[in-house]
Amino acid sequence: MNPRALLILALGISIFAGSVQAKMTVIDDVLGRKVELDLPAKRVILGFYAEDYMAIGTENALDNVVGISRDTWEGWRPSSWSLYTNYRPSLKSIPDVGEVEAQTFSIEKVISLKPSVVLLADWQYKGLGTDAERLENAGIPIVVVDYNAQTLERHIKSTQIIGELTGQEKRAQEIADNYKHTIESTLQRIKAAKLPKPRTYVEFGNKGPSQYSFTYGKNMWGAVITMMEGDNIAAPFVEWWGPMNPEQVLASRPEVVFLAGTESGVAGDAIAMGQGVDRKLAESRLAGYKARTGWNQMPAVKNNRVYGIYQGASRSILDASMVQFIAKSMYPSLFKDIDPEQEYLNFYKKYLPIMPTGTFTAQISE
């Protein structure tokens, strides 16, 4: 056989062998859906949880991201976006596919980017409705993860899924194990102490003191309060999230109040928390809520147990430290040895390429 024929035969055998060895992997996502795809994923569209994706998959995982729902990062956490884009300017060039809640998410744009997988939050997948079927009918797999539920089970499962997608299973398991240990050890202290459950209220303080914004029932901060043995006063009135009647808030006489905020709160009189936010400003915004009608008679206000918490540190594998903060605020005598804000920064130091500066937890002062 001549050399040319031998070369063609060798190439054919090599291609055939490669096709035999290539195997599709089946992932069970958080909804119990079985999704078949090639791993590690080479062309990924991120709907949400970009920081988690990077922490678990390493910064290199971003090299395979071909589209993002940009508003969930730049729009909701602008200072965080600036911090990351200053470090990695190429983030700005990743195509934007729109945002589900704003009804700008473009199925056509997603299809045009030819992704090997679309990673969506549970709320995004459900929000897309039949549009999700359009992607699947186009042969594009969708994997669903969920940190918004704020349950240990879904946090662990979501972290393991991202580990599979990025080929970082070992790193993902380490992060998941550390998260699990933090949650369980924190809860163990509380249960062992057998103290009365403090009546607790949480509100996203994005509208300032003059208008009540939404609180949480079964998910996000509401779920954390319940998990850490607090008595969430919103639970009987709000299933997931939504505003609570101000009179009912007062009648419930909360002993602990959490007001969540982001960097966007710097403008106006909203709660300001997060990257680049000065601590004095954060504390002054908390103090502004004392002026709400009837709040001067609230046990939480009388006893200076009104706390600020960074909204951007929720619904994330990074939120173990915020769980600690909520636990410490509700049961201060049990966690004198824990510095939640430092724990939050320690996660960045170990798993992420940037280090934020600002105010991520705060307490009202005299």
CATH topology of 23-167 equal to that of 195-363? yes
Strands 361-363 and 306-310: antiparallel
Distant-in-sequence, close-in-space partners of 296: CB < 8 Å, separation ≥ 6: 290, 302
Class of domain 23-167: alpha beta
Q: What pTM does this model have?
A: 0.87
Q: Which amino acid type is present at position 332?
A: P
Q: Which of 113, 109, 125 is nearest to 49 (CA)?
A: 125
Neighbours of 293 (CB within 10 A): 10
Predicted confidence at residue 260, as pLDDT, reads: 94
Phi, psi of 335 (to 5 degrees): -135, 40
Distance CA 27, CA 164 (A): 8
DSSP string across 223-291: HHHHHTT-EETTTTT-SSEEE--HHHHHHH--SEEEEEEBGGGGSTTS-B-EET--HHHHHHHHHHGGG
Residue 161 has pLDDT above 70, yes or no: yes
Q: What is the mean pLDDT of residues 79-98?
A: 94
* Structure letter (DSSP) for residue 116: S
* pLDDT beyond 90 at 6: no
- From 14-28, 74-88, 271-285, the region with the lowest mean pLDDT: 14-28
Tokens for 262?
């982001």
Q: What is the pLDDT of residue 75?
A: 85
pLDDT value at 237 more than 90: no
- Cα separation, 352 vs 51, in Å, equals 8
pLDDT at 150: 79
pLDDT at residue 111, as a whole number: 95
Instruction: Provide the CATH topology of domain 195-363.
Output: Rossmann fold (3.40.50)
Q: What are the structural domain ranges in the chain?
A: 23-167, 195-363
- The Cα–Cα gap between 116 and 41 comes to 6
pLDDT digits (tens, 9 = 90+) for 286-344: 999 988 999 999 999 999 999 999 998 888 999 999 999 999 999 999 999 999 999 99
pLDDT average, residue stretch 218-232: 92
Rounded Cα–Cα distance for residues 312 and 275 (Å): 9
Query: For 245-270, what is each residue's pLDDT tens digit?
Result: 899 999 999 999 999 998 877 888 99
pLDDT surpassing 60 at residue 17: no
d(CA 66, CA 105): 15
Percent of the chain with pLDDT over 70: 93
Of 105, 138, 109, residue with least CA distance to 123? 105
Q: Which residue in 207, 257, 231, 268 sits closest to 362, CA to CA?
A: 257
pLDDT value of position 91: 95
Q: Tell me what the mean pLDDT of segment 59-84 comes to.
A: 92
Is residue 47 a contact partner of residue 100, using CB atoms and an 8 Å limit? yes
**Burial of 188 by CB count in 10 Å (0-12 exposed, 13-18 middle, 19+ buried)?**
exposed
